[in-house]
Amino acid sequence: MAGPGGDMQWCFSQVKGAIDDDVAEADIISTVEFNHTGELLATGDKGGRVVIFQQEIENKNHPQFRSEYNVYSTFQSHEPEFDYLKSLEIEEKINKIRWLPQKNAAQFLLSTNDKTIKLWKISERDKRPEGYNLKEEDGRYKDPNTITSLRVPVLIPMDLMVEASPRRVFANAHTYHINSISVNSDNETYLSADDLRINLWHLEITDRSFNIVDIKPANMEELTEVITAAEFHPHQCNTFVYSSSKGTIRLCDMRVSALCDKHSKLFEEPEDPSNRSFFSEIISSISDVKFSHNGRYMMTRDYLSMKIWDLNMENRPVETYQVHEYLRSKLCSLYENDCIFDKFECCWNGNDSVVMTGSYNNFFRIFDRGHRRDVTLEASRENSKPMQVLKPRKVCAGGKRKKDEISVDSLDFNKKILHTAWHPQDNIITVATTNNLYIFQDKVN
Amino acid sequence: MEVNAEARRILAVSISKLYASRSQRGGLRLHRSLLLSLVMRSESDSDEEGCDNEITEDKENLSPARQSRKRRGKASVAPDFLPIKRARLESGEDRYAAPLSSCRAGESLAALSLNRVIPAF
């Protein structure tokens, strides 16, 4: 990829998480999200925990080192629950985290598992009051008869404490499993989507939501597709999109009607009949949809490719990027080992010129849209020396394997990068392997 | 023939995945179940076409008595999603398992599983 001054190179910055090969299921990272400034980086895991990292103040003495991310706050967002009516366990796994734009000193984020969304307030406390009139320092109430004077408590400095407190719980609105949440640009509402329905919430109101999309057929035997992802437009508060398991994307305008079952636009690319197989439906299912920051485009990820769509053109994407086309001949094996059901996410860089997504063998792919170049990189402990430049990787699809290439059959399908995120303003990227979070930055010349 | 054998194998894999997903934490996933059912349906259709081809090929070699056996065309195949009477598998349903030599085995198993997949939600 070329940036100003030549090809961009990526350097290792940090890795978070245990080194052990024996991974506890609860530690598997399930979502990653930068906040709007990029100062905070939140991860959710299968154990229902949220870990927030904060970027430290920039080291001016060493400008080639961007600031590191250190743990800022850790809290248990969701616990396992049991639905007694349906005799079903509700997993505590965090499916998505979305930050709210910052309005005051505190930070707010939404986190969701399969059924319940929670609004968390993350605030700092670096002072504590001392000198109460009615209480001792240890909290015990004084005997009123001993109080002879009045004094005003004073605030004294203390060690920084970061508190996470649940401010709202949005529950009991989804029959099916929640796959997406998206905060509206009006900063007052957000949507949550499950397999068949999308609900609109007000951030202040927890006891009701509006159903804006319902694709559940009257007869479930007629079900042909489900909702796989949904997102609000970054600027138009009336517009949102949702993707389906059939590979279509519907753009809806909430001004048209209260129930947005009828789409305003339908984005769909005809299937190439030469690629038809038993698994065509599975690989065409869209796993993620993301608007570009400028709101002109959206990107979708299906099993083998990423597509960029111009919102003004519905019949085909403007750009298609093959992520790992060499897997097309392996779909049967990938079906047997369940990998074909993996849901990869995708992300834009800050100025929408570059996109990124994950793959197998802890590879991730970066596509430079402007220069039509792409690179495959690997997140590995072996390449984790500080500021070590990542070497591009190449997969040999067939024929004679070159020296530094890896053959398709040698790929480790247990090592997958499903979740990636790009700093909103800087060339800092983060990718989640099974239980580790890797942070890379571009090499500052 | 090879395609049919492969289709039957994938069908068996699909059915085992469907049954395994019942014991998953968090319950049956609608999206996954739908995708499994779509694969099973396309395999079923492929298997049926294969059977039809086999029957067509063998038709000339069949005795007149056997030729008169009614062939189940697509129109008479049981709908993919029949209403189910039982929410769960019960013992005795393995009576539906037909001998592997019959190309109808996969069809029966698939019909059984497809019947139960989506309406269960």
- The contact set of B with A (CB < 8 A) is 6-7, 10, 13, 17, 25-27, 29-32, 34-35, 38-39, 42-43, 46, 79-83, 118-119, 121
CB spacing of B118 vs A336 below 8 angstroms: no
Determine how β-strand A405-407 pairs with β-strand A394-396. parallel
Alpha-carbon dihedral B100, B101, B104, B105, rounded to 10 degrees: -10
Residue owning tokens 């996410």: A345
Per residue in B12-50, pLDDT tens? 999 999 989 888 888 889 999 999 999 988 887 776 666
How many Å apart are CA A342 and CA A422, to the nearest integer? 21
A285 vs B contacts (CB less than 8 Å)? 31, 35
Residues of B in contact with A338 (CB under 8 A): 17
pLDDT tens digits for range B47-85: 666 666 655 544 444 444 444 444 444 333 444 444 444
Interface test with B, best of A177, A194, A278 (most B CBs within 10 A): A278
* Selected residue of A220, A243, A276 to mutate for chain B interface (largest B Cβ count, 10 A): A220
Q: Is the separation of the CB atoms in B118 and B33 below 8 Å?
A: yes
Question: Taking the alpha carbons of A67, A73, A78, A80 in that order, is the dihedral positive or negative?
Answer: positive
Q: How far is B6 from chain A (nearest CA, A)?
A: 10
How high is the pLDDT of residue A36?
97
pLDDT along chain A (445 residues), means of 10: 58 90 90 97 98 82 72 97 92 98 96 98 92 84 86 90 97 97 98 98 97 96 96 98 98 94 94 87 97 98 98 97 96 96 98 98 97 95 89 88 88 97 96 96 78
Contact A223 B13 (CB under 8 A): no
CB-CB contact of A118 with A168 (8 Å): yes
Report which residue type is found at A225. E
Confidence (pLDDT) at B102:
33
- Reported as type and span, the H/E element at residue A355 is strand A354-358
The secondary structure element, H or E, covering residue A438 is: strand A437-442
What's the burial of A314, exposed, middle or buried (CB within 10 Å: 0-12/13-18/19+)? middle
Chain A residues within 8 A of B43 when measuring between CB atoms: 278
Out of A89, A245, A336, name the one closest to residue B31 (CB). Answer: A245
The size of the A-B interface in CB pairs under 8 A is 70
**Of A262, A256, A228, nearest in space to A242 by CA:** A228
With a CB cutoff of 8 Å and minimum separation 6, the contacts of A9 are: A389, A390, A442, A443
Q: In this structure, are strands A205-214 and A227-232 parallel, antiparallel, or unpaired?
A: unpaired
Pick the residue from chain A with its C-alpha nearest to B16: A336
| Cα(A110)–Cα(A121) distance, integer angstroms | 9
* Residue B119 to residue A221, Cβ atoms within 8 A: yes
- The CA distance from A228 to A231, in Å, is 11
DSSP-derived secondary structure letter, A389:
B
- At residue A26, the pLDDT reads 95
Residue type, A133: N
Judge contact between A263 and A242, C-beta under 8 A.
Answer: no
Which of A195, A220, A279 lies at the smallest CB-CB distance from B31? A195
Q: Do the bridges between strand A88-90 and strand A81-83 make them parallel or antiparallel, or are there none, so unpaired? A: antiparallel
Contacts 24+ apart (CB under 8 A), A197-205: A197/A227, A198/A227, A198/A230, A198/A240, A198/A242, A198/A260, A199/A173, A199/A174, A200/A254, A201/A117, A201/A170, A201/A173, A203/A100, A203/A119, A203/A168, A204/A168
Find the helix packing angle between B2-21 and B104-117, rounded to 10°.
30
B92 has a pLDDT exceeding 50: no
The residue among B101, B53, B102, B112 whose CA lies nearest residue B77 is: B112
Which pLDDT score, from 0 to 100, does residue B117 have? Answer: 59
Q: Is the pTM of this model over 0.80?
A: yes
Q: At CB < 8 Å, which residues of chain A contact B?
A: 86, 88-91, 93, 114, 176-177, 179, 195-196, 220-226, 228, 245, 278-282, 285, 332, 335-336, 338, 341
Helix (H) or strand (E) holding A99: strand A96-99
Q: Please give the residue of chain A at the shortest CA–CA distance from B31.
A: A226
Q: CB A221 to CB B80 under 8 A?
A: yes
